[in-house]
Amino acid sequence: MRVIVTEDVTEMAVRAADLVVAEIKKHCNPVLGLATGSTPIPLYKELIRRHKTEGLDFSTCISFNLDEYVGLGPNHPQSYRRFMNENLFNHININIKNTHVPDGTITDFDAIERFCDEYEERIRDVGGIDIQILGIGANGHIGFNEPGSSIGSMTRIKTLTSKTRADNARFFKSMDEVPVYAITMGIGTIMNARKVVLLASGEGKAAAVAAALEGPVTTMCPASALQLHRYATFVIDKAAASKLSLETYEMG
Ligand code: PGA
C-alpha cells in the first residue's frame, strides 16, 4: 500500500491528478472510476485546469461513478449525476455518453437489481476500471458501503445508515428529503479496479484513515479492504494523516 502525505489539499489534488493523468496517457480508452463528495473537488478542479491550460484530453475516456441516491433524478440539485456534470464533465471534453452514474430514477426494487447487474456488466464490457478514485467516510465507508458491508459485494442497493443520512442532511431542506436508499458499487467492484486512489483531507478523517491503513482488515471499516489491493494509494493531507503511527510514509 502506498501512502502519500501532502502538505495541504492543493498538493493532494496535484499528486492525485498525476496518478489519474498517468492512466489516461497509458490506455487507448481509459476507464475512470469517479467519486462525489467534497474531497475530490480539488482533484476535479486540477484536472479541469490541466485540460484547459495543458490540453489534457478526455475524449477517449469512459467513466463510472461509485454511487447515486435512489429517488433523485439527474436534475435534482443533490443528485450525483448533477454533481459530476457541474464539477467535472461540463468543463472537460469527455463524451457525456461515455459517463455512467447509477440511475437514481428507478424505484422498483427488482428493476434496481437488474440495473445493478447491468452496471457491473458494462464495467466488464469496457475491460474494467483502470483507476478508481475514492473518498472515505468518517466511519470508514467507501461509496455507500457502510460498516458491515461484505468485502466481496458488487453494485447493489443499500439502505443508508442514520449517521450518513444525518451527515448529508445539510444538503437537503429537511431530514425527510434525505434519500433512504442508494445504489453503490460494492467493495468487490472497487477491489476489481486495477488501481485505486483514496483521498482524504482534514482531521475529521484521521481516525478512519488510521483504521483503514493500520487497523485490521474488517467489514467494520470498509476502506480497510484496500490493504488487500495490489495497487492502492492513499493521497492524504497532513491533518488526515495525523493519527497514523508508522513513520514510513512518503511525504508529499
Ligand atoms: P466527503 O465524503 O468527501 O464529502 O467528506 C467522503 C465520503 O463520504 O466518501
What confidence tens digit (pLDDT) does each residue in 88-118 have?
A: 999 999 999 999 999 999 999 999 999 999 9
Residue pair 116/187 in contact by the 8 Å Cβ criterion: no
Atom of ligand 1 nearest to the CA of 141: 9
Which regions of the chain are under pLDDT 70? Answer: 252
* pTM attached to this predicted model: 0.96
Label the pairing between strands 62-65 and 31-34. Answer: parallel
> What pLDDT, on the 0 to 100 scale, is given for residue 246?
86
Q: Which of 46, 103, 141, 237 is catalytic?
A: 141
> What pLDDT, on the 0 to 100 scale, is given for residue 179?
96
> What pLDDT, on the 0 to 100 scale, is given for residue 168?
85
Helix or strand (DSSP H, E) at 241: none
Share of the chain above pLDDT 90, in %: 92
> What pLDDT, on the 0 to 100 scale, is given for residue 252?
63
CA distance 9 to 13: 6
Ligand 1 in reach of 170 Cβ (< 6 A): no
> Is 146 labeled as catalytic in the residue annotation?
yes
CA distance 24 to 27: 6
pLDDT, averaged across the chain = 96
- Mention every residue, 6+ apart, whose C-beta is less than 8 A from residue 45: 13
The residues facing 33 across adjacent strands are 64, 132
Q: Is 182 helix (H, G, I), strand (E, B) or coil?
A: strand
> What pLDDT, on the 0 to 100 scale, is given for residue 251?
74
Tell me, in angstroms, the distance from the centre of ligand 1 to residue 220's CA. Answer: 17
> What pLDDT, on the 0 to 100 scale, is given for residue 120?
98
> What pLDDT, on the 0 to 100 scale, is given for residue 212?
98
> Is 247 labeled as catalytic in the residue annotation?
no
> Is 167 labeled as catalytic in the residue annotation?
no
